[in-house]
Amino acid sequence: MPVRNANHSIHSYGNGNEKQEILFLEIWTNGSLTPKEALYEASRNLIDLFIPFLHAEEQDINRNMEDNQKRASVPFFTFDDGLDNMKREIILK
């Protein structure tokens, strides 16, 4: 495997009410790829995994427009929502 180790850290910074976050990635490789190339390949693979979901959503939209059917929309699930729910469950236990 070209990637030997990878770490990440998220750091917050900012003044007063304005907060920003920055992501630091550390990537060690065996030399057959540079860390930049490894990150590029990993990001392409991740994008390729999500493309079928995008196409499925486009097909649903096109099908709805063609059939002129009304469907209830499902709100998008975000990681923050799931994390908040997990925190509440842990606190309540």
Q: Cα separation of 48 and 43, whole Å?
A: 9
**Would you kindly state where each structural domain of the chain is located, as residue ranges?**
3-92
Total residues belonging to the chain: 93
Query: Residue 30 has what pLDDT?
Result: 96
Q: Where are the alpha helices (DSSP H) in the chain?
A: 35-67, 79-92
Query: Residue 1 has what pLDDT?
Result: 84
Q: What is the pLDDT of residues 52-89, one digit of tens each?
A: 887 776 666 666 666 655 555 555 555 555 666 666 66
Contact 29, 3 (CB under 8 A): yes
Query: Residue 21 has what pLDDT?
Result: 93
Q: What is the pLDDT of residues 31-58, one digit of tens each?
A: 999 999 999 999 999 999 988 887 776 6
Give the least confident one: 9-13, 16-20, 31-35, 69-73.
69-73
Q: With cut-offs at 50, 70 and 90, classify the pLDDT of residue 5.
A: very high
Query: Residue 78 has what pLDDT?
Result: 56
